[in-house]
Amino acid sequence: MSFHSLYIKTIQASAEAVSPQALTENVNYKVKTGEDQNFTEMDHIVTLDSGAKEIENLAQGTKSMIIYGSDSKSNPYGMVTEGDVLYFVYNDDCTVVKAKGIVSSVYNSYQLSAIESFEMIIRNQDKLALPDNLFYKWAGKKYLVLIGVRDVKEVQPFHIRMSIP
């Protein structure tokens, strides 16, 4: 999973109220950095594994949590908060949004040992629903971000273009 934390400056309405074409043509993105603390509304583009059908599993409710891990505190560590909107894309086509959801909970771990990292993922596997290859991709990372997701709905796919001002 990769994460792009974006503040959408132009559009304040929900995506359902705006046509997908207008969304991509009229949105100005500003990438949120660690120094930016004055954001009131955050949207995030989340890249998930297409082989594991993570978007479908979230939409069907067989998965209710996503994970990111790293050996250093990197995005999205500390940048995602409850109530933020997540837009989901697959790793084989990162420009097409397929679903969206709302962040229901966030856990940013302290520095973990390899054993603690494995244990944390095992304790949350019922919500993460990770296949073996993704389990081993994240297990052992020093920092984990566990993000609970609710109200995941598949949307009519639309293209995005991300540009950094």
As a whole number, the mean pLDDT across the chain is 80
- The C-alpha angle with vertex 52 and arms to 50 and 54, in degrees rounded to 5, equals 75
Half-sphere exposure of 29 (CA within 13 A, CB side): 17
Write the pLDDT tens digit of every residue in 83-126.
Answer: 999 999 999 988 899 999 999 999 999 999 999 999 999 999 99
**How would residue 19 be classed by pLDDT, with cut points 50, 70 and 90?**
very low
Ordered DSSP codes for 77-121: TTT--TT-EEEEEETTBTTEEEEEEEEEEEEE-----HHHHHHHH
Interatomic CA distance for residues 76 and 6, integer angstroms: 11
pTM of the model as a whole: 0.75
* Mean of pLDDT values over 145-162: 92
Distances (CA, A) of 165 to 9, 43, 83: 12, 17, 26
Which numeric CATH code is attached to 2-159? 2.30.130.30
Asked whether 58 and 149 are in contact (CB, 8 A), the reply is yes
How many residues comprise the chain?
165
Q: Could you tell me the residue ranges of all domains in the chain?
A: 2-159
- Nearest to 144, CA basis, from 103, 102, 112: 112
